[in-house]
Structure 1
Amino acid sequence: MNRSDYQRAAFYYAKFTQPLDPDQGWRTEDVQLAFMAGMEALALPRLLSLPEAAHVLNVSSSTINDLVRHGELAFVQAGRGTERRRLTFSQDEIASFIRRHTQRTHYDPTPKTARRGSRKTKHELAIERATANEGNYTAQYEARRAAARAKKK
């Protein structure tokens, strides 16, 4: 709240209340008390219009309308319009929306590794072939060499 809101509240309070001593009228102390009581009497905070709420949240008006449509942001309908509603928002609701949607994420500064598909690499296939048949690689190697020699002849 700014200073003019406090002053307006104090003047409103002073207008509809009586001074402490009606014979002496309003004294400086009475005005100060009225000012303090007026500040406390201003219980309802000012509602924000749709453009003001958009400015506070740093989004567009259409985004605010989408948030209202999806139930993310509560509103107060001002006026009697049924086709074009005049939406206003409480400052507490805006603060609650900000608290609900505040996130803290941790980013890993290390470089990202390349993603691999589900296919096996050449090296993995060679290891798999070598370890098939009880892992006897030398016997498989000798059998392949013998087959190659027989093919040559």
Structure 2
Amino acid sequence: MDREIAASLALAYARSAQPLDPEMGWRREDVQIAFLAGMEALTVPRLLSLPEVARTLNVSASTIHDLVRHGELAFVHAGRGTVRKHLTFSADEIASFIRRNTQRTYYDPGPKTARYGTRKRAHELAVERATESGGGFMAHYEARLAAAKAKKK
């Protein structure tokens, strides 16, 4: 039976394709090559199971479930269940997911954290305020006392 199917597939492919050398027509080698090419074109891609996809993406199965739930990964429902679906995935879909989520980060020579950034720390601001008017702490303290007394009056 398999030979009959293979022969009919080769014949169908030979009818739709051209021989390698049109002047010589179809030869045995041409039919064999056509059959192999036709079989490769007609093969159904193997679906990957959830654990295989998790291993491929190097994440847990629950992460794969989350990706499916949020619509980031398309799946093929391979079982009969409706509550606990048997998820299988196409290799093309996994490759597409990887392409969509591939990111390239560039080196930024700026500060790594806010602590080493250009913002001044609280004590640096306090020292700057105290020294910018030329007076020390006591001068600022007396100025604040005078402002508070003026408000009371």
* Counterpart among 2, 6, 10 of residue 14 in structure 1: 6
Instruction: Using structure 1 for the length normalisation, give the TM-score.
Output: 0.59
Query: Unaligned stretches of 5+ in structure 1?
Result: 1-10, 21-26, 132-139, 141-153
Within 5 Å, give how 1:29-48 maps onto structure 2: 29-42=30-43, 44-48=44-48
Equivalenced residues, count: 115
Distance apart, 1:54 and its partner CA: 0.9
| CA offsets 1:39-60 (integer angstroms, 9 cap, x no match) | 1222x42221111111111111
Query: Unaligned stretches of 5+ in structure 2?
Result: 15-27, 140-153
Distance apart, 1:32 and its partner CA: 2.9
Within 5 Å, give how 1:83-122 maps onto structure 2: 83-108=83-108, 112=112, 113=116, 116-117=120-121, 120-122=125-127
What's the secondary structure of 1:108's corresponding residue? coil
Q: For residue 31 of structure 2, what is the amino acid of its counterpart?
A: D
Provide closer, same or farther for how the CA distance between residues 17 and 40 of structure 1 changes in structure 2, counting only shifts above 3 A: closer
Whole-angstrom distance in 1 between the partners of 2:69 and 2:38: 40
Matched, 1:124 2:124: no
Counterpart contact for 2:10–2:38, Cα < 8 Å: no
Structure possessing the higher radius of gyration over alpha carbons: 1
Provide closer, same or farther for how the CA distance between residues 13 and 54 of structure 1 changes in structure 2, counting only shifts above 3 A: farther
Q: CA RMSD in A?
A: 3.2
